[in-house]
Structure 1
Amino acid sequence: MKILNCIIIDDEPLARKGLLSYCNDISFLNVVGVCKNALQANDVLHKQTVDLIFLDINMPILTGLDWLKSLASSPLVVMTTAYPQYALESFSYEVIDYLVKPISFERFLQAANKAYRLAKTTEDEQVFFVKSDKSLKKIKIDEVLFVEAMQNYVKIVTTSETVITHSTLKQLHENLPDQLFVQTHKSYLVAKSHISEIVGNQILIGTHKIPISVRLKKDVLQKILHS
């Protein structure tokens, strides 16, 4: 059975306690963080692998939706809120379910089961999601050719399209299997399986030419030769 690491984000102590109790009763949910605001949750995301977020909307400092908008990519998200009027906006950010308080265990279990099915599908397909044009874009890992950093954005070039997302190369690298990708330059991350040739300080992938920095060349060649 796949275990989903999840975090609970709610500013109300009783709500956090209730959601934690529900999670503890579901065998495939493993709570790795219980947070009273989005900033605490942000710290958890940087330290833990998180598959699922139970997210309240109306919180101090930063609302749940504003925090969700700030993430370059996010785990599966289930909204848990007392405000039904935000449902339409929430679903525009590809949340998988919207639970209105008070939340029954039956309704919570339904959302958890949906998350489990989606997580299994994602795992089997080897995909990840990034925000692009106010929606979440699904990208198959084996179709990624390379990633290029462009100031506050990155460009993901795949076999079929180019996707621009607000992120850093470091953040995106953390979402990709390290054994499949190699950083060739401070601005480039390359899929090893799509490399067709290395000429001097350049990697060729089809018609694309990706630079190899002098500082990283030895490490790049070692990773490619021993992949």
Structure 2
Amino acid sequence: MKLNCFVVDDEPLARKGLKEYIGDVDFLQFAGEADSPLKATEQVSSGNVHLLFLDIQMPKITGLQFFSSLQQAPPVIFTTAYPQYALDGFELNALDYLVKPISFDRFLKAALRAKEYYDVRTQNQQQDSAANYLFIKVDGKLVKIFYDDILYVEALQNYVTVHTKEKKYITYLTFHSIEEFLPQNLFIKAHKSYLVAISKIESIEGACICIGQHALPISRNLKDQVMEKLVNNRLLKR
């Protein structure tokens, strides 16, 4: 698996250097760049970026502020000329923190750390593929939730709400992390803020998925994908 890498940095030479480094590592793949976080939001949040190289000191909004604002944030490696921001970066669960000027040796160590992260996650998903539940932390305790009880998952800024048949649970997670964990054959992303249990869908009305009294929006850019997965050859016609 090649990791799609996106670079956000307001310095052209810094972007150029990272692009060259990415091209020299066989398990990395350059997926795009931006000179401002404000120009990168859509691409970084698309779910197609596996690894984000993000500068910290930039005009208008810092890399730390930008990353904190993302509802669906990919794993990040911060790149900066200011080592004093390292603690802030790691508090955001950064995979690594590279201080400019960045040597290739140091870059490769960070890249290998990212590869290890994905290797471990893939292994865990394979081991857990037979499981039919998950645990989330709610109010200081671990709550076990069976997949079959979940109606849908909703993103709420830095939190996620898991709506079940009986109640809803609010937990401090990223939407991206729970999207990656839940089986894709059982759940579908219908909107940037909603992950829906396929078996609980009762109808599709216009741009909404209906589950009981809940009407959940379907994103315009995801509608074709949603319809393909849900309906495909199952639509009966006269």
Q: Is the 8 A contact 2:52 2:74 kept in 1?
A: yes
User: In structure 2, the residue corresponding to 1:88 is in which secondary structure?
Assistant: helix
CA distance in 1, matches of 2:45, 2:27: 22
**Partner SS for 1:106:** helix
Aligned to 2:171: 164
* Superposed displacement of residue 41, structure 1: 1.8
Is the alpha carbon distance of 1:58 and 1:119 closer, same or farther for their aligned partners in structure 2, counting shifts above 3 Å?
A: same
TM-score (norm. length: structure 2): 0.64
Deviations 1:12-60 (A, max 9, x none): 0010011111000001111111111112221212446011011100011
CA contact (8 A) 1:33 1:41 kept: no
Aligned counterpart, 1:54:
53
Do the aligned partners of 2:5 and 2:32 also contact (CA within 8 Å) in 1? yes
User: What is the aligned partner in structure 1 of residue 32 from structure 2?
Assistant: 33
1:76-87 pair list within 5 angstroms: 76-87=75-86
Partner in structure 2 of residue 104 of structure 1: 103
Residue matched to 1:42: 41
Partner of 1:79: helix, strand, or coil? strand
Amino acid at match of 1:90: G
Could you list the runs of 5+ residues in structure 1 that have no partner in the other structure?
134-139, 202-209
User: Aligned partner of 2:23: which letter?
Assistant: N
Deviation at 1:143, TM superposition (A): 5.9
**Conservation of the 8 A alpha-carbon contact between 1:7 and 1:52:** yes
Cα pair 1:9 1:55 within 8 Å, conserved: yes
Q: What is the CA distance between 1:123 and its match in structure 2?
A: 2.2
Q: Aligned to 1:30, what secondary structure does the other structure show?
A: strand
Q: How many residues align?
A: 190
TM (norm. structure 1) is 0.66
> Residue 190 of structure 1 is aligned with which of 191, 197, 208?
197
Amino acid at match of 1:189: V
- Cα separation, partners in 2 of 1:191 and 1:173, compared to 1, 3 Å: farther
Query: Are 1:154 and 1:165, in contact at CA under 8 Å, matched by a contact in 2?
Result: yes
Cα distance in 1 for residues equivalent to 2:17 and 2:50: 20
Q: CA deviation at 1:150?
A: 8.1
SS at match of 2:40: helix
**Cα distance 1:141–1:114, how it changes in 2: closer, same or farther (>3 A)?**
farther
| Aligned equivalent of 2:161 | 155
Identity across matched positions, percent: 38
1:182–1:190 CA contact under 8 A, matched in 2: yes
Distance, in Å, in 1 between the alignment partners of 2:108 and 2:21 is 8
2:16 is matched with which residue?
Answer: 17
For residue 163 of structure 1, report the CA deviation from its aligned partner. Answer: 4.2
SS in 1 for 2:78: strand
- How big is the alpha-carbon RMSD for the aligned residues of Structure 1 and Structure 2? 4.2
